[in-house]
C-alpha cells in the first residue's frame, strides 16, 4: 500500500499547491490514501468547513488538526458531524470531535489515523503515551486495521522520537508535524515503523515558518504588539512523505520525502 502524508498546509498559498498537486499525485503514484494536516489552512490559523470540503474534493481522505484546531469557531460544531477531520486525541475530555479516524481504500483496506499533541513547550494536554496506548487497545495491525498512521503534533524532536520508538512495530508510521521545517531523519525503525520528526509545511518558505517575513521580523524586534501575522503569499512548496507498507502486516517497507514547487529542493513525485 502507498499512503501520502502532507505536512501542515499554511494559508492560501499552501492550499493552492495542495489542491493543484493532489489529484495528479494520486494517479501518478498510485496512492491508496492521502492524509493532510490542515490546522493552518485558514489564513494560517485553523480550518473552516469550506476549506475542508475543498481539500476532500482535491483528493484528501482524512484531515488532522493540532494546537490551532479551534481558531476558526465554525469548525467546533462541524467536526461533530465530519469524522474525516481528526483533532488531537489527548485534548481534555468533552472536547468536540475524535482523535482517531479511518478510511477505506479502493481495495477495501482500512487506514486508521491517530493524532496526539506533544506536551513539551506546547501547553496542557494529556499524556500522549497513555492516550496512544489506550487507543491501540482498539486498533491493531493485521487485525482490524491494514495500516495505522500516527501524527505527532509537537515542538520537541526528542518527544517525537520517543513516541516513534514507543510505537515501533505497532503502527505503520509515526509522522511529526507542527514545526513547519522538513527534517532529514526519515527512516524505517527496527520494528518496521516508518518515522520522520517533521514532514515540513506546505506553504511559502520565503517566510518565517509560513508567515509574512516583514511582519514576523517586526514582531521579533519590538516589544510593542504589531499587526496580526499573515501567511506569506508567494509560490508554495508541497511537503509530504510517501509511506509504503506491506498489506499483510501493515508494517512499513519505505518512507520517501516528497517536495514539489516553491523554493525548496525538489524530491520525488
- Could you list the pLDDT tens digit for every one of the 269 residues in the chain? 999 999 999 999 999 999 999 999 999 999 999 999 999 999 999 999 999 999 999 999 999 999 999 999 999 999 999 999 999 999 999 999 999 999 999 999 999 999 999 999 888 899 999 999 999 999 999 999 999 999 999 999 999 999 999 999 999 999 999 999 999 999 999 999 999 999 999 999 999 999 999 989 888 888 888 788 999 999 999 999 999 999 999 999 999 999 999 999 999 87
For 80, the 3-state DSSP assignment is helix
Span between the terminal Cα atoms of the chain, in Å? 16
| Cα separation, 204 vs 173, whole angstroms | 26
Q: What pTM was estimated for this model as a whole?
A: 0.96
pLDDT at 150: 98
Q: How many CB atoms lie within 10 A of CB 219?
A: 17
pLDDT at 196: 98
pLDDT at 224: 83
The answer to whether 135 and 49 are in contact (CB under 8 A) is no
* 2-260 fold: Purple Acid Phosphatase; chain A, domain 2 (3.60.21)
Q: Which of 68, 78, 180, 186 is catalytic?
A: 68
The answer to whether 202 and 17 are in contact (CB under 8 A) is yes
Active site residue 186: no
For residue 266, give the nearest of 246, 243, 238 by alpha carbon. Answer: 238
Q: Which residues contact 23 (CB under 8 A, 6 or more apart)?
A: 58, 59
For residue 145, give the nearest of 136, 157, 154, 153 by alpha carbon. Answer: 136
What share of residues in the chain are helix, strand, coil (percent, to 5)? 25, 30, 50
| Cα separation, 141 vs 130, whole angstroms | 19
Residue 66, by phi and psi: left (phi above 0), alpha (psi -120 to 50) or beta?
left
Amino acid at each position: 500500500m502507498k499512503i501520502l502524508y502532507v505536512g501542515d498546509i499554511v494559508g492560501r498559498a499552501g492550499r493552492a499547491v495542495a489542491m493543484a498537486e493532489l489529484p495528479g499525485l494520486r494517479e501518478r503514484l498510485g496512492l491508496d490514501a492521502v492524509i493532510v494536516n490542515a490546522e493552518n489552512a485558514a489564513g494560517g490559523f485553523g480550518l473552516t468547513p469550506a476549506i475542508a470540503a475543498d481539500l476532500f474534493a482535491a483528493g484528501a481522505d482524512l484531515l488532522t488538526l493540532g494546537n490551532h484546531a479551534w481558531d476558526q469557531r465554525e469548525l467546533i460544531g462541524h467536526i461533530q458531524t465530519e469524522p474525516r477531520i481528526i483533532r488531537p486525541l489527548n485534548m481534555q475530555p468533552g472536547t468536540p470531535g475524535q482523535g482517531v479516524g479511518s478510511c477505506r481504500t479502493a481495495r477495501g483496506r482500512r487506514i486508521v489515523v491517530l493524532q496526539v499533541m506533544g506536551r513539551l513547550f506546547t501547553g496542557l494536554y494529556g499524556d500522549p503515551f497513555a492516550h496512544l496506548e489506550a487507543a491501540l487497545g482498539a486498533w491493531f495491525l493485521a487485525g482490524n486495521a491494514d495500516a495505522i498512521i500516527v501524527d505527532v503534533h509537537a515542538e520537541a524532536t526528542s518527544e517525537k522520537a520517543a513516541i516513534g520508538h514507543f510505537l515501533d512495530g505497532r503502527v505503520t508510521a509515526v509522522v511529526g508535524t507542527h514545526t513547519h521545517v522538513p527534517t532529514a531523519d526519515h527512516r524505517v525503525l527496527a520494528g518496521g515503523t516508518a518515522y520522520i520528526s517533521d514532514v515540513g509545511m506546505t506553504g511559502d518558505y520565503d517566510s518565517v515558518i509560513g508567515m509574512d517575513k516583514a511582519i514576523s521580523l517586526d514582531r521579533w524586534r519590538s516589544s510593542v504588539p504589531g499587526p496580526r501575522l499573515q501567511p506569506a503569499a508567494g509560490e508554495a512548496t508541497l511537503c509530504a512523505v510517501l509511506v509504503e507498507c506491506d498489506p499483510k502486516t501493515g508494517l512499513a517497507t519505505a518512507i520517501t520525502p516528497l517536495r514539489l514547487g516553491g523554493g525548496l529542493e525538489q524530491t520525488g513525485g
